[in-house]
Chains A and B, each alone.
Chain A
Amino acid sequence: MPNLEHPAYPAATLLRLESLVPCRESQVSMLLSIFGERQQFTFPSIFIYGHTSSGKTYVMQTLLNTLQLPHVFVNCVEYFTSRLLLEEILIQLQNCSSETKHASHVLCDTFNDFVRMFKQAVTSQDLQDQTLYIVLDRAEQLREMEANILPAFLRLQELTDRNVTVVLLSEIVWELFRPSTGCFEPFTLYFPDYSIGHLQKILSHNHPPEYSADFYAAYINILLGVFYMVCRDLKELQHLAALNFSKYCEPVVRGEANERDTRKLWKNIEPHLKKAMQTVYLREISSSQWERLQRDDGEPGQLKGLSAHAHVELPYYSKFLLIAAYLASYNPVRTDKRFFLKHHGKIKKTNFMKKHEKTSNHLLGPKPFPLDRLLAILYSIVDNRVAPTANIFSQITSLVTLQLLSLVGHNDQLDGPRYKCTVSLDFIRAIARPQQGSIDTF
C-alpha cells in the first residue's frame, strides 16, 4: 500500500486523508506532490477528468478540507452565467478565512473587474503567503460562456500575479475544451474508473453499525454480482445497496438464518435484486414506492411502472393525422400514388424490393414532409369526407407541442411548413388498432 508521504503535512492528517479516499491513493499523492508546500507556487491550472462518479469532486473536496488549504469550490452548472460564476467565487473568497458570513453584495460584470477585485480580496483576506485553490466543477459548462472565460481562468495566476491555482473538473477530455485560438495548456490528470474490486472495497467501507463488516461485504458482493453488468455508478450502487439491505437482513431478523448462512441469504435476496434492477433502477417505480412494497411484502406486479402507461388516448382525427404523418415520414413520395390512389393501375410484383425498401426506410428514420402531403394522405385514409377546418390545422400544431410530430426548419410558417413524425412503429400500431387500418400493409 503506497502510504501518503509529504514533508509539509503532519502524518496523522495524511493517514486520515488516506482512510477517507480509498482506491485513489496514487492520484492523491500525485496531487500532493504537485501542490507542494503551502507557500509554494504550483501549476497555474490543473485539469482533472474521468468518468461519472470516479471520485473527482469527492477527492478534491476531502483533500482540500482535510489539509485545510484555502480554496473556493464552485459548480459551473449551478452558476450558469459568467457573471454569477465570478461573483460566487468572490463571495466565497470573502468568506474563506473569516467565519462570520458577510452577505455583502458583489458586482462583477467582466473578467477585468474580477481580476481587480480578486487581488483586493486576496490581500484583505491575508492569503498572499499560501496557494489559493479555485476548483471549478463541471467545467465543461465554461465552454458555453463567453470565449474569454476559459483561457483567462487557465492563466489566472499570471493575470492576477497571485499564488493561485485553478482546478478544472470535468467528465470529458481536454481535447474537447481547447479553444481554436490556443491557450495555456493545463496539467491534465486522469481519474480511471473504479474496478469491481474497488467498488466492493468502497461500498463495504460504510457498513451499518448494527451489522458486522463481513456480513455487509457479503451483501455487497451479491449486489455487485447482479448490478455490475448494468451500472458502475458508485452513487447509484450505494443508493441501491441502502434500499435493498433491509430485505437482505430479513431472514436474520426473523431468526431463520444466521449471519454466516450466505447461501440462504443469497437465495432470499437474488430474485429480489433482479426485480429491483427492472423497476427501481430504471426509475419505473420510485424508491419510496419500492420501500413501501418491501415493508408490506407486496408483489411489485401490483404497482405498474411508468412504461405501463405508454398508451396515449387521442381524438379521432388526431389519430389519423398521426398515422398519416407516420406514413408520410416513412414512405417515399413515389409510392404515394400506388398506396393511396383508388385507381392506381397494376401493382407491380416487386414484393422483394418493397420489403427491402421498407426495412431500410425504418432504419433511416423519419423524413420531413410538407403539410400538403400530410393532408392529402389524411383525406385518403379517412373513410368519410374531412373538411379542412381550423380544428384540423390546430391539431397538427398541438401534435407538434406534444412532441409527436416535429417541425423541420424554422423559416416562415406560410412557406409550406415541413414536419417529421417522431413516434415509433409500435406507438402507431397501438393507435391504429381500433381504426382497423393496418399499418403494415402500407
Chain B
Amino acid sequence: MSPPPFAPPPPPVPFPAGGLAVTAWNWERERGDMSTCSVSKGCFVFKPSPKKRRVSPKTADYFREGNNDSEDSGLRFATCQSLWKQIKSETEQIQEELNKQLFDNLVSFLRRSHSEFQEKTTEWTCRMKSREIPTAALVLGVNVTDHDLTFKSLSEVLQNNITPYVALLQAKDCPGIKNLMQKLMGQLMNCYIDVDSSDEEDCVQVSQNRIRCSMASLISWYENITKKTDSETPSKKRTSSRHLQSPPVVVIFKDMESFTTKVLQDFLVISSQHIRELPLILIFGIATSPMIIHSLLPHSVSSLLCIELFQSLSCKEHLSTIIDKLLLTTQFAFKLSEKVLQVLINIFLYHDFSVQNFIKGFQLCIVEHFCSQPLSVLCCRLVEAKKRVNSLSHSQCENVRRLPSFRRYVESQVSEKQIALLTADNFLKEVIQKLLEDLHVYHENYVPVLRCLHVFTSSLPKYPLGKQIRELHCACLENRVWETEEYESSLQLARMLNKSDLVTMLQKCVEIFASSSGKEFDKVVEKLKEFLTQFQKLEVAGACQERGESVSSQKELQKKTDLYHLQKTLLELKESRRSKKLTKFEMLRFEVVDFIDNLVRNYLVPADHKTLHEIMYFNTASALREHLNAAPRIALHTALNNPYCYLKNRALKSDGGTISNKAPDICIVYKLHLECGRLINLVDWLEAFSTVVMAVEGPNAAASDQVDDIIHARFIRAVSELELLGFIKPSKQKTDHVARLTWGGC
C-alpha cells in the first residue's frame, strides 16, 4: 500500500546540438504530471533527481573536457552542487513565507467551518438551514506548474494542523464518478496507515479491489476510524491532539477547470446527502476565475455549497521576491548578466508566469556556468575563493590571462607590471585575490545604491526607469545607466519632487544604507541624515524667516523715498525673492539629487566593466534561449532542409538550392514537397524523387526497371515518415494525392 515508486529517470541523452558539454540534462517529462496541462507546458529541462546524481559518479565527469583534471572539474561540480542546494532551500523558504498568509486563512476557515459542523443540531436555525458543504475556492492564477508545489505544502500544513485525512484529486484521474470514488478512497485509506501504522494488518486485508467504492463504505470507514481514535489510550492520543475532534475529511480538487461537470455534480450531490455522517470539506483549485464554479455547476448543485474565496499571491509578486532574494543580494556569488536575466524574465512574462520554471532556468544557468567556465571554481564566498586562488594550476592561470576583462586590465597597467602579470603565476594570484576583493566590494555597494535609486525612480510619474527593481537592475547591468536618456529624464523629474515625498524617500534611503553591510556607507548615511535635518530646519525656519524678511523689506521701503532708489530696491527685492526661493528648498533639493546622482555614478557601474566579472557572471544567453525556448518547427525544418546542420557529414554540405542525392531520403522528399501546392500528386513526386536519386548513378540507369522497385520502396518509406511527422496526410479529395498540412509553397 505504499505510493507507487517513481519511474527512474531515463539515462542521460547527449544533447544533439553538440558543442555544449551539459549532456547530463534530460528532456524529461516532469514526474508531477501537472506540467502537461499548464500555460508553461512543453519541454522542460530537468536534472535527474539529486539522489541519482549522487549515486552515479559519472555526472561530475561531464564537467571535465578530455581526461585531465587541471581545470578543477571536481571542485567546480561540488561548488555547483552546494550552491544549488543553498539556492533551493532559499527558494523553498521564500515560497513558504509567501504562502503562509494564505494557508493561515485556509486553516482558520477549515477550523471555523468544522466547528460549525459540530454545533448542536437541536437549535432551530440549525435544523432549518440546509447543511451546506464548506468549500474553499482557491484562486491560484494561470501558472499551473507552480500549483503542484503549493498543493503539496498545503496538504502538509493541513495534515499537521487539521486532519490526517486529506485527499488530492486530479481531473485526469477522474473521468467518471467511479474513478473519483476509487481514487478518493484509496488516498484516504492510505493516509490512515500513515497516522497509525500499527493497524496495518487490518488495512491490508481490506485490499482496494474488494472494497465497494461507494459513499456507504467510506462512511463506515470513517465511523470506524473515529471510534478507534476516541477509544485510544491517552498515551496514544498524541496524533489526535494535534488534530480536531472527529477530524474533517478534506478533499482537494487540484484543477477544477478540467473536471467534467457530471462527475463534479454527482460527487457533490452524493456527499451533500451524507454531510451529517461524513464531515467533508472541499477545496477547489482554480486557475482562471471563481466564475468557473458557476459555469460548471448548475444552481441546484452550487446551492449545496458554502463557498468562500481565497486568493493566492500573484505570481508577479512572487517573482519579484525571488529576484530580490536571489539576485539582489551578496549572499550568492553567482550572478546573471543582463541578457540572461532578460531571457528568463521574458519567458516568464510572455509565456508562462511560472515561478518554478524561472527557478529551473536559474538552475540551468548555474550548471551551464560551472560547466563551461573553468574559472567558475572561484565563484564562491570571498574567503573560500582567496584560498582557492592559491591552488590554481598553471593552465587555470592561463585561462585567467585569456579573459577579455583581464586583458583590458593588463593593458591599463605599466609595462613592468604587465610582464609580471603575464609571466609570474604567483604575482598573478596575488592580483587575482585583490581583484576578487574589489569585485566583492562592488557587489556589496551595488545593491543598496540600486535600491536607493529604485526608491526615487519608482515614485516618478510614468516610471522612466521602470516600476520594478528588476527593470532598473537590467538597465544598470546593460550599460552606464547615467548615460541613458531615461536616467536624464528621471533626474529632471526628481528635481521637481515635493518636500514631503523627498523626505520620506530620504528616510527610506537611510534605512537601506543603515541596514546594508557595505563599509563605505557610514558617510553616506551621515550626509543623508544631514539633508533630513536641513529639511526639518527649513520647515521650522521657513515660516518665521519669511515673516521677518517681509518686515525688514517693508522697513527699507519706508526709508527710501526717492523714486530711483525705490525702483532699484523693488527690483532687488524681486530678484532676491526669486533667488531666495531657489536657495531655500530648491537648492537643497538640487543638492540631494546631485548627491544621489553621484552615488549612482560611483557605484552602479555595469558589471562587465569590472575585471574578472566573467568568473561570477553567466552571460551565454543564446545557450539558455536554445534550451528554454525551443522552436521545434524551425529545428525540424532545419534538420530536413539542411541535414548537414545535425549530421555533420561533409558530403551533405549543401551548396544552395540544389537537392543532393546523398542526403537521407526523407530530406529529399521533404525538399521536393516544399515545391508543391496543397495537394501533392504521388506519381509526380515519385518521379521527381527517382530523378534526384538516379542523378549520379547515370550508367546504372539501363537497369532502371529493377532499381525502380527499391527506389519505390524507399520513396514510400520516406513519405510515410513525413506523414508521421505531420507534414502530410492522405486526402480524400483526389485519388493518388496527399494533402500538405503546412503552409508555404505555391
Interface residues in chain A, defined as those with a beta carbon under 8 Å from any beta carbon in chain B: 52, 75, 77-81, 84, 87-88, 103, 206, 208-210, 233, 235-236, 238-239, 241-243, 245-246, 282-283, 286-289, 304, 306-307, 309-318, 372, 376, 387-395, 397-399, 401-404, 414-416
Q: Is B129 an interface residue (CB 8 A)?
A: yes
Q: How far is the CB of B33 from chain A (nearest CB, A)?
A: 12
One of A306, A387, A403 near B257 (C-beta < 8 A): A403
CA distance A402 to B40 in the complex (A): 12
Q: How far is the CB of A161 from chain B (nearest CB, A)?
A: 29
Contact call A388/B631, Cβ cutoff below 8 A: yes
Chain B residues positioned under 8 Å from A398 (CB to CB): 37-41, 142, 144
Contact call B306/A288, Cβ cutoff below 8 A: yes
Q: Given the interface contacts A239-B129, A404-B288, does A309 sit within 8 Å of B741 by beta carbon?
A: no
One of B128, B220, B266, B631 near A77 (C-beta < 8 A): B266
CA distance A77 to B630 in the complex (A): 48
Q: Is B701 an interface residue (CB 8 A)?
A: no
One of A282, A286, A388, A389 near B308 (C-beta < 8 A): A286
CA distance A210 to B273 in the complex (A): 29
CA distance A339 to B360 in the complex (A): 40
Chain B residues positioned under 8 Å from A103 (CB to CB): 220
Contact call A397/B41, Cβ cutoff below 8 A: yes
Contact call B634/A387, Cβ cutoff below 8 A: yes
Q: How far is the CB of A202 from chain B (nearest CB, A)?
A: 12
Contact call B347/A391, Cβ cutoff below 8 A: yes
Chain A residues positioned under 8 Å from B299 (CB to CB): 282-283
Contact call A403/B288, Cβ cutoff below 8 A: yes
Q: How far is the CB of A119 from chain B (nearest CB, A)?
A: 23
One of A242, A306, A318, A414 near B142 (C-beta < 8 A): A318
Chain B residues positioned under 8 Å from A209 (CB to CB): 124
Q: Is B353 an interface residue (CB 8 A)?
A: yes
Q: State which of B210-218, B537-545, B685-693 sits at the interface with chain A.
A: B210-218
Contact call B729/A246, Cβ cutoff below 8 A: no
Chain B residues positioned under 8 Å from A306 (CB to CB): 137, 290-291, 293-294, 307, 309
CA distance A286 to B134 in the complex (A): 9
CA distance A199 to B504 in the complex (A): 64
> Digit string of B350-361 for contact with A (CB within 8 Å is 1, else 0)?
111100000000
Interface set, chain B 593-639, CB cutoff 8 A to A: 629-634
Q: Is B258 an interface residue (CB 8 A)?
A: yes
One of B39, B113, B215, B311 near A309 (C-beta < 8 A): B311
Contact call B300/A52, Cβ cutoff below 8 A: yes
Contact call A391/B132, Cβ cutoff below 8 A: no
Contact call A206/B128, Cβ cutoff below 8 A: yes
Contact call A283/B350, Cβ cutoff below 8 A: no
Q: Given the interface contacts A75-B273, A235-B130, does A402 sit within 8 Å of B287 by beta carbon?
A: yes
Q: How far is the CB of A227 from chain B (nearest CB, A)?
A: 13
Known A287-B132, A318-B39; 13 more pairs at CB < 8 Å: A78-B214, A239-B130, A282-B299, A313-B316, A315-B39, A372-B743, A389-B632, A390-B631, A391-B630, A394-B38, A394-B42, A398-B40, A398-B144
Chain B residues positioned under 8 Å from A77 (CB to CB): 266, 269-270
Q: Is B489 an interface residue (CB 8 A)?
A: no
Contact call B287/A243, Cβ cutoff below 8 A: no
Contact call B351/A78, Cβ cutoff below 8 A: no
Chain A residues positioned under 8 Å from B306 (CB to CB): 286-288
> Digit string of B109-123 for contact with A (CB within 8 Å is 1, else 0)?
000110010000000
Q: Given the interface contacts A286-B306, A309-B139, A402-B257, does A317 sit within 8 Å of B113 by beta carbon?
A: no
Contact call A309/B289, Cβ cutoff below 8 A: yes
Contact call A88/B216, Cβ cutoff below 8 A: yes
Contact call A389/B349, Cβ cutoff below 8 A: no
One of B113, B212, B294 near A84 (C-beta < 8 A): B212
Chain B residues positioned under 8 Å from A283 (CB to CB): 293-294, 299, 302-303, 305, 307
CA distance A65 to B142 in the complex (A): 52
Chain A residues positioned under 8 Å from B144 (CB to CB): 398, 401
Contact call B113/A288, Cβ cutoff below 8 A: yes
Contact call B289/A391, Cβ cutoff below 8 A: no
Q: Is B177 an interface residue (CB 8 A)?
A: yes
CA distance A206 to B306 in the complex (A): 23
Q: Given the interface contacts A87-B212, A286-B308, A306-B293, does A239 sit within 8 Å of B128 by beta carbon?
A: yes
Q: Which 6 A-B pairs have the closest CB atoms?
A: A394-B42, A242-B128, A414-B726, A394-B41, A306-B290, A401-B37
Q: List 14 A-B contacts (CB under 8 A).
A: A210-B124, A233-B303, A239-B128, A239-B303, A242-B128, A313-B142, A313-B314, A314-B142, A389-B630, A390-B629, A398-B39, A402-B288, A403-B257, A415-B741
Interface set, chain B 301-331, CB cutoff 8 A to A: 302-303, 305-309, 311, 314, 316
Contact call A88/B214, Cβ cutoff below 8 A: yes
Chain A residues positioned under 8 Å from B309 (CB to CB): 304, 306, 309
Chain B residues positioned under 8 Å from A288 (CB to CB): 112-113, 116, 134, 306, 308
Q: How far is the CB of B67 from chain A (nearest CB, A)?
A: 36
Q: Given the interface contacts A79-B214, A88-B214, A318-B142, does A309 sit within 8 Å of B352 by beta carbon?
A: no
Contact call B41/A312, Cβ cutoff below 8 A: no
One of A245, A315, A416 near B352 (C-beta < 8 A): A315
Q: Is B527 an interface residue (CB 8 A)?
A: no
One of B129, B212, B307, B630 near A243 (C-beta < 8 A): B129
CA distance A53 to B216 in the complex (A): 24
Q: Given the interface contacts A286-B306, A395-B39, A401-B255, does A387 sit within 8 Å of B142 by beta carbon?
A: no
CA distance A313 to B273 in the complex (A): 37
One of B37, B129, B351 near A391 (C-beta < 8 A): B351
Nearest-CB residue, chain A, relative to B112: A288
Contact call B289/A311, Cβ cutoff below 8 A: yes
CA distance A414 to B632 in the complex (A): 14
Q: Given the interface contacts A312-B289, A318-B142, A397-B41, does A387 sit within 8 Å of B631 by beta carbon?
A: yes
CA distance A392 to B307 in the complex (A): 35
Chain B residues positioned under 8 Å from A78 (CB to CB): 214-216, 270, 273
Q: Is B417 an interface residue (CB 8 A)?
A: no
> Digit string of B126-149 for contact with A (CB within 8 Å is 1, else 0)?
011110101101010110100000
Q: Is B647 an interface residue (CB 8 A)?
A: no
Chain A residues positioned under 8 Å from B291 (CB to CB): 306-307, 309-310
Chain B residues positioned under 8 Å from A372 (CB to CB): 742-743
Q: Is B292 an interface residue (CB 8 A)?
A: yes
One of A243, A388, A404, A415 near B634 (C-beta < 8 A): A388
Q: How far is the CB of B730 from chain A (nearest CB, A)?
A: 10
One of A79, A238, A318 near B130 (C-beta < 8 A): A238
Chain A residues positioned under 8 Å from B127 (CB to CB): 206
Chain A residues positioned under 8 Å from B743 (CB to CB): 372, 376
Q: Is B236 an interface residue (CB 8 A)?
A: no
Nearest-CB residue, chain A, relative to B141: A313
Q: How far is the CB of A193 from chain B (nearest CB, A)?
A: 15
CA distance A287 to B311 in the complex (A): 19
CA distance A129 to B215 in the complex (A): 33
Chain A residues positioned under 8 Å from B113 (CB to CB): 288
Chain A residues positioned under 8 Å from B499 (CB to CB): none
Q: How far is the CB of A381 from chain B (nearest CB, A)?
A: 15
Q: Is B43 an interface residue (CB 8 A)?
A: yes
Q: Is B152 an interface residue (CB 8 A)?
A: no
CA distance A233 to B632 in the complex (A): 56
Q: How far is the CB of A206 from chain B (nearest CB, A)?
A: 6
Q: Is B125 an interface residue (CB 8 A)?
A: yes
Chain A residues positioned under 8 Å from B294 (CB to CB): 283, 306-307
Chain A residues positioned under 8 Å from B307 (CB to CB): 283, 286, 306
Chain A residues positioned under 8 Å from B630 (CB to CB): 389-391
Q: Which of B39, B273, B314: most chain A Cβ within 10 A?
A: B39
Chain B residues positioned under 8 Å from A208 (CB to CB): 124-125
Contact call B212/A245, Cβ cutoff below 8 A: no
CA distance A404 to B257 in the complex (A): 10
Q: Is B227 an interface residue (CB 8 A)?
A: no
CA distance A124 to B8 in the complex (A): 56
Contact call A315/B353, Cβ cutoff below 8 A: yes
Chain B residues positioned under 8 Å from A289 (CB to CB): 308
